Structure 1
Amino acid sequence: VLMAAGITAVICLALTLFAFQTRFDFTGMHTILFIALVVLLLFGILAAIIPGKTMQIVYASLGALLFSFYLVYDTQMMLGGKHKYSISPEEYIFAALNLYLDVINIFMYILAIIGSSRD
């Protein structure tokens, strides 16, 4: 658990710094991210029907990758500025909840990767 927490902290710090300095606008990718989330949900159902260590690791890796993109997306939404979409300062609770859920999901998927690889 501690290793997963450390990996999550490093990933979140790196992605937040990336979101601050990149010139690419991730806020316009909301449709792509939503479609990827639906595909991940369907893949999760498939992974539950067809169990296997490899399937679990692939599912958890895709989930961690997707929520890493969501973390960058939500961070840029909070920054506002020259980005296409933004969250207003009055919606700080919503923004904090978005970031919290991104970090928790990344942690859970990394924990699943570590757990599956130790079996």
Structure 2
Amino acid sequence: MDSPRKAPDFFDKDALCVPNNNDRFPPIALPAPPPRNLSETDGSAGEAVQPHLLESGAITHDLIVKSIIFDDQTIRKGFVRKVFGILMVQLLFTCAVMAIFVYHGPTKQFVRENFIVIILAMIVNIIVLIVIFCVESVRRKHPVNLICLSIFTFTMSLLLGAASSIMDSNVVLSAVVITTVLVTALCIYAVQTKYDYTAAGGVVITFVMILLVLSVCSFSMPKLVNSLPVSCLCAAIGCFFLIYDMQSIVGGNRAEQLDPEEYVFAALTLYVDVVRIFIHVLRIVQKFV
């Protein structure tokens, strides 16, 4: 049996030993360990770092809030659920009021005999709308924001009910069904499409100017404004606004996104968009009946 092979002479056994610091192998300098508050979870690290950054001026409070708002999907989903919950209550209440005005005879008679109520409702509706849009502290402060939104919804429901009471019930019902289907389809499209409508700021300004001009012309040329082509144009503009507002609420990779604290403003914009589409659809349906 062969004996085990002997290691060659050039193999230095001392090379296997750990070198001393005095030898030709200097010690390796290691970096200092990170602070404890930075190595913990993201939540605790954020709490520890943010005050220091705020004091040094590196990060502003608004930047931190916006980062949390737009990155946290839980906050965004809760915001969307709240907005649509408020919107559903608004639309159901409006439909109930309109049904009373359309199918209840004494209510129709009351509106015809007390038209001053409708004028007061219109004035209050415009004032509350301006306050919610222009005063940020009102639309963000609870429960003032919900009270203003309730007043606006109530007055708008009275106006729509009064307008529906002078029309045929089948026309109103058809307009409600068409508006429901159209709004549902537009909301699904706004969420699924990859095109960012919120980036089309110039188109929004153009459409707003068109609506303002038509509103002014309605006093001098009501037949032109209520014509079928103009009604179709206004309905298309209303559909664009609905998609725009829907994308700004849902968020994601959008150019414009609403702050989750603006849930009353978001519900108001969607409600106004739906009402605008319903009014123009009602005019269109009336042309064919």
Q: TM-score, normalised by structure 2?
A: 0.38
Aligned to 1:32: 203
SS of the residue 1:87 aligns to: coil
Distance of 1:50 and 1:39 partners within structure 2: 15
Aligned to 1:85: 256
Number of aligned residue pairs: give it.
118
Runs of at least 4 residues off by over 3 Å: 43-55
Equivalent positions of 1:77-116 (< 5 A) are: 77-116=248-287
In structure 2, the CA distance between the partners of 1:91 and 1:48, relative to structure 1 (3 Å rule), is same
For structure 2, the 5+ residue unaligned runs are 1-171
Per-residue CA distance 1:42-64 (angstroms, 9 max, x = gap) = 24544654454796111111111
Distance of 1:97 and 1:71 partners within structure 2: 12
Distance of 1:21 and 1:65 partners within structure 2: 19
Contact 2:225 2:231 in 1 (8 A): no
Contact 1:47 1:56 in 2 (8 A): no
Per-residue CA distance 1:52-101 (angstroms, 9 max, x = gap) = 47961111111110010000000000011110110011111100000000
Task: Say whether residues 1:64 and 2:235 are aligned partners.
Answer: yes
Structure ID, larger Rg: 2
Q: What is the CA RMSD across the aligned residues, in angstroms?
A: 1.9
Distance of 1:46 and 1:54 partners within structure 2: 7
Which stretch of structure 1 is more off in the superposition, 17-26 or 51-60?
51-60
Equivalent positions of 1:14-25 (< 5 A) are: 14-25=185-196
Distance of 2:202 and 2:266 partners within structure 1: 18
Which stretch of structure 1 is more off in the superposition, 100-109 or 27-36?
27-36
SS of the residue 2:227 aligns to: helix
Q: Letter of the 1:62 partner, please give it.
A: L
Contact 1:26 1:72 in 2 (8 A): yes
Q: TM-score, normalised by structure 1?
A: 0.88
